[in-house]
Amino acid sequence: MKILCLHGYGTNIAVLENQLSTIASNVDDIDFEYVNGQIESPKASGLGAFTTGPFWCYYDSFAPSKVREAHEMITEIIEDEGPFDGILGFSQGASLAVAYLLQHEIDHPGEPAPFKFALIFSSVISFTPDDSYCMDVLHSLNDEEIEKLAAFPNVDLSILPADAKTLFGTMVKALNAGMEGGFLHAHPDPDVFRRRDSSMIPRILHPALIHERIRVPTVHVVGKMDDPLMLEQSKLMFQLCDTKVSKWLEHSAGHDVPRTPEDAKAVCKALAWAADEGESQSLLCRL
């Protein structure tokens, strides 16, 4: 079995390999294929003093055009090194995995997914790679409302329409949490709102604003001690998945991959379930 693995913001494949070491030691016949992000970034908060760089991220802007480049990277990896059975991500890598799978459902409804299952560790919010996503919400905003958004991140949402509050209110909370936790380097350029440039305005993938769901089995793993705002983001990403083939696991630590033997065994059990379910789905698609 072959799994593509995506690390968190401001880390690298060596960090993720270390994070997954307890889980990897409890499974057999799995090839974990790690890939660094394409953009060098500051070192993530919480990494030890002796953790060496360079450090990477998959995107340092949340503009659809930049997120799309990260999706194109995954597609190229699949073409060059695939096929892969599953995809695994931590934090930013997890949010990218969710967005990639969901975008496939949007762009290619009814077609087999590029991965049979996904392991999602402490996902932050996912951003769209699609310029046209929620364009009706953007087009509905008048100049006064655009100016409110241009005050980002100190946004007064009170005058925004309901869908705009959902879209941008959640995004503001997510980005502030990421900045405070050291998982993000900078907020988006607020002038993108004034320019009304759809290729540059960040938009989150929110379950209340999109009807498609990820149909492959997913396992979402979070730390009980993670920041509540980070957990809120992970729960939203869980809601983008088909509940019939999704599992939610909590481990004893914070914003990290499970490290204790007990927590790691629970993840491995869920991984086996997801792999079996994914293979069953794949067989049905070929009938």
Q: Which residues are catalytic?
A: 91, 226, 255
What three-state secondary structure class fits 112? coil
Residues 7, 91: Cα–Cα separation, whole Å: 7
Q: What is the DSSP letter of 32?
A: E
Tell me the backbone φ, ψ of residue 272, rounded to 5 degrees.
-65, -40
- CB contact burial 64-77 (16+ within 10 A = b; e otherwise): bebbbbbbebbeee
Pairing of strands 218-223, 86-90: unpaired
Residue in the structure block whose two tokens are 């329409």: 161
Q: What is the DSSP letter of 121?
A: E
Q: How many other CB atoms sit within 10 Å of the CB of residue 262? A: 9
Pairing of strands 117-121, 246-251: unpaired
Token digits of residue 174? 């997510």
In order of 13, 125, 258, 274, the CA distances from 19 in angstroms are 10, 21, 8, 20
Q: Please answer whether residues 115 and 4 qualify as being in contact, where contact means their C-beta atoms are separated by less than 8 angstroms.
A: yes
What amino acid occupies position 213?
A: R
What amino acid occupies position 9?
A: Y
